[in-house]
Structure 1
Amino acid sequence: MRFVKLICLIAGLLPTAGFADAQKARKLADSLPGEASVGRLMVNGNAMCTGALVSPDLVLTAAHCLYDPNNGRRVKPHQIEFQAGLRKGKAVAVRKVRSATQHPQYRHVHKGTAQVGHDLALLRLVSPIDKNAVLPMAQDIRLGSGDMLGVLSYNIGNRNDPVLEYPCRVLATQHQTVVMSCDVDFGASGAPVLALSNGKNPALVSVVSARAAMGGRTVSVGTTLTTDALQKMMRGG
């Protein structure tokens, strides 16, 4: 995961979790389509990201996860492994990646100012997992300031179990970039950002791109999903 500093200062209080929010968090976690829907990505044997299953053989993550953080070079697809539904160190399924396609407008910058807004990638697995574990995507959704979201991720403090950050709030949006109050840690890059659709089923609306500093507090930055970008990546993959 990258760390970026946002120049803008956005007013707004961070949400606090009460009893009702805790109930919603449990509802969000319990309503996921299957244990294998979110998993840990191991990149080149040492770097870690998070990914979400959006079809039986496609994983959505952040584009910068395709690059070695040490030298900035893009890794080969077979050097990426998706550990679906990893809990207590045991995965529901493990798959190597056959091919990887990044957002057509993403340009990777090694150890420089992180690019946001196009930080998406689709990974095609060597074989499908469970069609019942696919996360539904809400494409071209209009997120607004104050909208409540949840992030399910793996990070350096919780490598073997997913962590649900809920509730967090949309602080600002610009084009395909969303700034959120979600407190994520390194390893959460590519993690699915979820919204409850009609209060019932979670839908994937964005993926985590970076951890950021804004106005003296830690926030997170994500890339929202658009039909055009996803279709181009699917064709490219």
Structure 2
Amino acid sequence: MRLIAILVMIMQIYVAMGPLTAQEAKHLERLTTADQSRGWESVGRIELAGSGFCTGTLVTERLVLTAAHCLFDRETGARHPLEAIEFRAGWRDGRAAAYRQARRAVIHPNYVFGGEDRIGATVHDMALIELDNPVRLPSLPPFGIAAAPKVGATVDLVSYAVDRAEAPSREERCHVLGEERGLLMLSCNVDFGASGAPVFLRRGETAEVVSLVSAKAEWRGQKVAIAVAVAPHMALMTDILEGRVSRARDVQITGSASVADQPGTADHPGAKFLRP
């Protein structure tokens, strides 16, 4: 199966109005209690200049993984100012396990916000946010990164989204339906606000991030999620952030005087694939 061939139009998922239906929500477990949330609290809500939120994941003491399109204002195409971006680890019913502001942010150099090649943009829809202070709490260990699983593998998803914004929800036993060019098609059910949400592969008691949610889609009458494989891009992203890449064209990084910010300018519509 050629995954890319079925994707006629792509739009990333973002915060939007409109509730989840009961059918959409029934497969999700709301992580309401401390016991339910234990082990998943390094997933949090990323607040975006008071205009919405995405989901992010702590992958080191200082770095949060999310989708690149989350860092852009969908109306103006401009980058959200760093001082207006806050990571709320383990956000649940009005409280977070840790609050941190963004210090710097780097977007994959091949990502183009609002460009004509939406498939190409989605393949690189990945960003790292460096926090102003490290998170060093025993209850918030960073998640490791692993290679994307094969088609047929079972994965878990933890996310925030519209109408379930006040606590994370977990969907177990999603399946990888297809893979192409670093994009995974998953049987997970996602909605607005789930952009950047981590997709986990579990090995025993260990859960590792294998991809992050970029978009939602419909395929053969089934609601699916489109996710970006993370492992192939992590080394480049961290090298850029740490200055080990001396000069890279079109690197989009803020919070650093050494590399110019190059924000997108196009409109950002919200929110689905259309099947052919």
Task: Answer whether TM exceeds 0.5 for this pair.
Answer: yes
Asked if the contact 2:210/2:231 (under 8 Å) is kept, the reply is no
The normalised TM-score by structure 2 is 0.70
Q: How does 1:216-231 map to 2 (within 5 A)?
A: 216-227=221-232, 229-231=233-235
- 1:39-90, CA deviations, whole angstroms, 9 ceiling, x for partnerless residues? 0011121121000001111100011111011222111222211011111121
In 2, Cα distance between the equivalents of 1:104 and 1:226? 15
Q: Secondary structure at the match of 1:78?
A: helix
CA distance 1:89–1:192, change in 2 (3 Å): same
CA distance 1:85–1:111, change in 2 (3 Å): farther
Partner residue, 1:82:
87
Cα deviation for residue 218 of structure 1 reads: 1.3
Asked if the contact 1:178/1:223 (under 8 Å) is kept, the reply is yes
CA distance 1:73–1:30, change in 2 (3 Å): closer
Structure 2, gaps ≥5 residues long: 8-25, 30-35, 242-276
Whichever residue aligns with residue 136 of structure 2, its letter is D
In 1, Cα distance between the equivalents of 2:52 and 2:4? 25
In 2, Cα distance between the equivalents of 1:94 and 1:188? 19
Q: Secondary structure at the match of 1:186?
A: coil
- 1:186-223, CA deviations, whole angstroms, 9 ceiling, x for partnerless residues? 100001101102x2211111111111121222110111
Partner residue, 1:25:
none
Seq. identity, %: 35
Asked if the contact 1:136/1:204 (under 8 Å) is kept, the reply is yes
Number of aligned residue pairs: give it: 212
Q: How does 1:1-237 map to 2 (within 5 A)?
A: 8=6, 32=39, 35=41, 37-109=42-114, 113=118, 115-130=121-136, 132=138, 133-139=140-146, 141-197=147-203, 199-227=204-232, 229-237=233-241
Asked if the contact 2:106/2:237 (under 8 Å) is kept, the reply is yes
Cα deviation for residue 6 of structure 1 reads: 6.9
Task: Report the aligned-residue RMSD.
Answer: 2.5
Find runs of 4+ consecutive structure 1 residues off by over 6 angstroms: none
- Larger proportion of strand: 1
Whichever residue aligns with residue 202 of structure 2, its letter is L
CA distance 1:111–1:67, change in 2 (3 Å): farther
Asked if the contact 1:84/1:93 (under 8 Å) is kept, the reply is yes
Structure 1, gaps ≥5 residues long: 10-16, 23-28
Larger Rg: 2
